[in-house]
Amino acid sequence: MDFEKEIAKRRTFGIISHPDAGKTTLTEKLLLFGGAIQEAGAVKSNKIKKSATSDFMEIERQRGISVATSVLAFNYRDRKINILDTPGHKDFAEDTFRTLTAVDSVIVVIDVAKGVEEQTEKLVEVCRMRNIPMIVFINKLDREGKDAFDLLDEVEQKLGLTVTPLSFPIGMGYDFKGIYNIYEKNINLFSGNSKQHIEDTIAFDDLDSPELEGIIGESHAHNLREYLELAGAVYPEFNKKDYLDGSLQPVFFGSALNNFGVRELLDCFIEIAPTPRPKMAEERLVNSNESDFSGFVFKIHANMDPKHRDRLAFIKIVSGTFERNTPYLHVRQDKRIKFSSPNAFFAEKKEIVDISYPGDIVGLHDTGNFKIGDTLTNGEKLNYKGIPSFSPEHFRYINNADPMKAKQLNKGIDQLMDEGVAQLFTLELNGRKVIGTVGALQYEVIQYRLEHEYGAKCTYENFPVHKACWVDPEKENEEFAEFKRIKQKYLAKDKMGQLVFLADSAFSLQMTQQKYPTVKFRFTSEKES
Ligand code: G4P
């Protein structure tokens, strides 16, 4: 019974946005409401502002902070809220995609002046494909920005969502008066200096009442009535079922910096956002209220202290309870492991915890047992479906620059790939290693980490590849044999041993497809099931 109650309390979600839309600020304000921090400015942004290694190094220096901010947990009105941090920088997009496998819902932050930006489009697309419930928060209403209806249109068009506003701005920028909360039927007036304290609201369910003029002035009252009538006619009425199955997205307006509209968002969120959702394993669908424990690794965080080369593997608990010092089955390795000091996260701290419930994240110290996507269970052989790898955009040979350190280099490359820093391809012809990444920044990060964590030196060499194409399992026919013989130079194995064709240009890919029609290519690593 307690178990079910604990599950019902959990809300595990991620905040996604284009860099600078206000994700860090909003996170901080949510923590403030939860009483998890006392003052603004306590949460350090771990974003990388420029594509510069120095920023990454700076972040690594502060790794103590960034490990803790990977999961920020707090209690609010008897709910346990887990926020999973998602890097905004595009070079780390794969990291964010993987974190999205562990959230039960997301909040999408959009800058009122910039509207829908590129990174938001990509991340929302992944959420859409997985039917993850989404709430949209339009931020920075204290600044001049786009018209509310234009923005709602843009969200629908560019993000492919069906929206319904649950709050509506009254004025904007210089003339910003506040917001009308459609969901709770009240008005929240903006005073401009509400950075720290929590706003009072004025209950207001009869919009026709002349009192509205008294509160927000004649012209705002007139506009608000008109806009709300229009919104009511244009947008579908909110219903929880559509939101939960990912077909309707409620929208809130506010200003995170001014702590304005955030309480409305949070109060609605805890009421409508899903409790830990069931998750699909290759074998079957697993429900959170099953008593047997199961969970999966969605993130691995390396320890940058060279004296302790341990890592923290982040596990999302899908079902059952995770208990300290209990042996669990590591399904891929088919062995039992127990953990004497699992970490739970609370606000910016981590602490050892005896028991965790579905929806929770635990951090397990790891000396190299885990890879992203690994499943742990009580004993059942389950394999949770992860997020597939997409074709990287950059490819380079990696060479050993210190022949005495070949072993260290190989170990370093192996472990960094297990963490999901980049993808490794080993050429069939000569065994040379090729690293594929989403952004150029990763090459510097890998080089730096190989040197500092493993004592190995590497150099890179360009390898012009247009796209990595995963080849469907080999067929024993002449066409396949010829394809392998002719394209030998471009064939490689990925980390899982799957065959990959590294097409050097779009043209060559097209020609290959035409010449060998029975050879089937996939553009992600996930096999059809
Ligand atoms: P991110 O994590 O999504 O990248 O964004 P972050 O919260 O760091 O916010 C980016 C910038 O936008 C910050 O300013 C932040 O203060 C500002 N901001 C966030 N919410 C609001 C808002 O509601 N109104 C206004 N006017 N600004 C907002 P910065 O100058 O880049 O950083 P800082 O020096 O203020 O920290």
Range of the domain at 39: 2-74+86-272
Higher pLDDT pick, 385 / 182 = 182
Which residue has the least CA distance to atom 14 on ligand 1? 20
If 0-12 CB within 10 Å is exposed, 13-18 middle and 19+ buried, where does residue 31 land? buried
Ligand 1 pocket test, pick from 50, 257, 262, 265 with the greatest ligand atom count within 8 Å of Cβ, gives 257
Ligand 1 pocket test, pick from 16, 18, 25 with the greatest ligand atom count within 8 Å of Cβ, gives 25
Q: What is the pTM of this model?
A: 0.84
What is the distance between the alpha carbons of residues 194 and 398, in angstroms, rounded to a whole number? 53
User: With 70 as the cut, is the pLDDT of residue 166 above it?
Assistant: yes
Which residue has the least CA distance to atom 16 on ligand 1? 257
How confident is the model over 312-354, as pLDDT tens digits? 899 999 999 999 999 999 999 999 999 998 988 876 677 889 9
Query: Same domain, yes or no, for 57 and 37?
Result: yes
19 CB within 6 A, ligand 1: yes
CATH code assigned at 371: 2.40.30.10
24 CB within 6 A, ligand 1: yes
Atom number, ligand 1, closest to the C-alpha of residue 255: 23
DSSP 351: E
Query: Same domain, yes or no, for 207 and 259?
Result: yes
Q: Please state the domain count of the chain.
A: 3
Residue 63: the pLDDT is 42
Query: Same domain, yes or no, for 256 and 318?
Result: no
Pairing of strands 311-319, 294-302: antiparallel
194 CB within 6 A, ligand 1: no
117 CB within 6 A, ligand 1: no
DSSP string, 71-112: EEEEEETTEEEEEEP---SGGGHHHHHHHTTS-SEEEEEEET
Mean pLDDT over each residue of the chain, to the nearest integer = 86
Query: Same domain, yes or no, for 144 and 129?
Result: yes
Instruction: Classify residue 186: in a domain, yes or no.
Output: yes
377 Cβ partners below 8 Å, 6+ apart? Answer: 292, 293, 294, 295, 328, 329, 331
| Beta carbons of 154 and 240 less than 8 angstroms apart | no
C-alpha distance from residue 45 to each of 19, 24, 55 (Å): 11, 6, 12
Query: Same domain, yes or no, for 250 and 140?
Result: yes
Rg of the chain, C-alpha, whole Å: 25
> What's the gap in Å between 421 CA and the centre of ligand 1?
28
Query: Same domain, yes or no, for 309 and 163?
Result: no
Angle at 239 between CA 200 and CA 247, to 5 degrees: 120
Ligand 1 pocket test, pick from 16, 20, 86 with the greatest ligand atom count within 8 Å of Cβ, gives 20
CA atoms in the 13 A half-sphere facing the CB of 506 = 0
Residue ending a domain, among 272, 289, 321, is: 272
Per-residue three-class SS string for 231-258: HHHHCCCCCHHHHHCCCCEEEEECECCC
- Residue matched to tokens 């389950």: 382
Residue 87: the pLDDT is 72
> What's the gap in Å between 388 CA and the centre of ligand 1?
32
What is the distance between the alpha carbons of residues 75 and 82, in angstroms, rounded to a whole number? 9
| Beta carbons of 145 and 113 less than 8 angstroms apart | yes
pLDDT band at 160 (very low <50, low <70, confident <90, very high): very high
Query: Same domain, yes or no, for 337 and 460?
Result: no
Instruction: Classify residue 387: in a domain, yes or no.
Output: no
CATH code assigned at 193: 3.40.50.300
Query: Same domain, yes or no, for 123 and 97?
Result: yes
